[in-house]
Amino acid sequence: MDNHKRNLKILGSPYYLWSAFFIIIPLAMVFYYGLTDRSGAFTLANIASIIQTEHIKGLFLALELSFISTVICILLAYPLAMILSARKVSSKSFIVLIFILPMWMNFLLRTMAWQTLLEKTGVINSVLSFLGLPVLKIINTPSAIILGMVYNFLPFMVLPLYNCISKIDENVINAARDLGANSLKVFTRIILPLSIPGIISGITMVFIPALTTFVISKLLGGSKILLIGNIIEEEFTQASNWNLGSGLSIVLMIFIIVSMVITEIFDKGGESNFL
């Protein structure tokens, strides 16, 4: 039997080799390039270059926009998840229809379509001016990027929240009501604490892709607004300064790890509160 077990372990070696070569070594190379200069000598200059005006501006703008988008996503997704979990019967196929189906239309095209909708003479403004309302001027502004982020990442907030809320035992809610809790109290004392794991995984699934995007900002923000993702992308595809690009990527990874640690702490805090 032991022999058999060892054979089973060896079965995994294609994957172990694969992940060593295509996950660990590439990541190590980002660190190597990020910590050396063009001649290969050790330096911290690439990482320190984050304090250059343009870079730090890109980082702060990305943090700001992805934070706002995440908050908007929570505010939009929470009522949605509650409504969906209340209508239990047909909701599963409904959710697939409303959230998964759009993903089959290419995400670049969908984001592009917002250009058509938001433009100065676009669809939304035509309708607004027809109704005699003031026109929107949000294309090529940070607001358009926020809209694009919310649009693209909202499903990633709704799905974990829905999973969480629909699993809450109705008897617990009924018990609270029987004991005299009003709707608000039921929400703050029962539904909200029990849905924290959903909020947490929603936050990581929205915040990190939003923080690191370069596509949405390029398509909806015009060419003038640079997020940290755009700066890194340009270092690799246009400036060909891999060392600088890798250095900035290391900074980005540090922010990802910090945001994960923070959400982890909140997660633990939420759990212990509940218990």
Residues of this chain, 9-28, that bind another protein according to CB under 8 A: 9-16, 18-19, 21-27
**Total binding residues toward another protein, as defined by CB under 8 A:** 78
Q: Does 97 bind another protein (CB under 8 A)?
A: yes
Spatial separation of the C-alpha atoms in residues 218 and 226, rounded to whole Å: 8
Helix (H) or strand (E) holding 123: helix 123-130
Of 44, 45, 75, 103, which one interacts with another protein (CB under 8 A)? Answer: 103
Q: Does 153 bind another protein (CB under 8 A)?
A: no
Spatial separation of the C-alpha atoms in residues 246 and 35, rounded to whole Å: 8
Asked if 225 contacts 61 with a C-beta cutoff of 8 angstroms, the reply is yes
Of 37, 168, 253, 266, which one interacts with another protein (CB under 8 A)? Answer: 253
Complex with another protein: residue 193 or 197, whichever CB lies closer: 197
| Residue 158 CB partners (closer than 8 Å, separation 6+) | 77, 80, 81, 84, 95, 99, 202
The two tokens of residue 274 are 């509940």
Q: Does 186 bind another protein (CB under 8 A)?
A: no
Complex with another protein: residue 9 or 268, whichever CB lies closer: 9
Cα-to-chain-centroid distance, residue 222: 21
Closest contact distance (angstroms) between CB of 209 and another protein is 7
Q: Does 206 bind another protein (CB under 8 A)?
A: no
Q: Does 198 bind another protein (CB under 8 A)?
A: no
Distance separating the N- and C-terminal Cα atoms of the chain? 43
Closest contact distance (angstroms) between CB of 31 and another protein is 9
Q: Does 269 bind another protein (CB under 8 A)?
A: no
Residues 106-145 that bind another protein (CB under 8 A): 106-117, 119, 121, 123
Asked if 245 contacts 236 with a C-beta cutoff of 8 angstroms, the reply is yes
Spatial separation of the C-alpha atoms in residues 262 and 200, rounded to whole Å: 10
Spatial separation of the C-alpha atoms in residues 218 and 140, rounded to whole Å: 9
CA distances in angstroms from 52 to 177, 213, 265, listed in the order given: 57, 20, 31
Complex with another protein: residue 193 or 267, whichever CB lies closer: 267
Complex with another protein: residue 32 or 193, whichever CB lies closer: 32
Asked if 94 contacts 262 with a C-beta cutoff of 8 angstroms, the reply is no
CB atoms within 10 A of CB 149: 27
Residues 29-88 that bind another protein (CB under 8 A): 29-30, 33, 76, 79-80, 83, 86
Stretch that binds another protein, among 48-56, 127-135, 243-251, 261-269 (CB under 8 A): 243-251
Complex with another protein: residue 21 or 60, whichever CB lies closer: 21
Per the document, the length of the chain is: 275
Closest contact distance (angstroms) between CB of 111 and another protein is 8
Q: Does 244 bind another protein (CB under 8 A)?
A: no
Complex with another protein: residue 71 or 260, whichever CB lies closer: 260
Stretch that binds another protein, among 174-182, 194-202, 238-246, 264-272 (CB under 8 A): 238-246
Spatial separation of the C-alpha atoms in residues 125 and 136, rounded to whole Å: 6
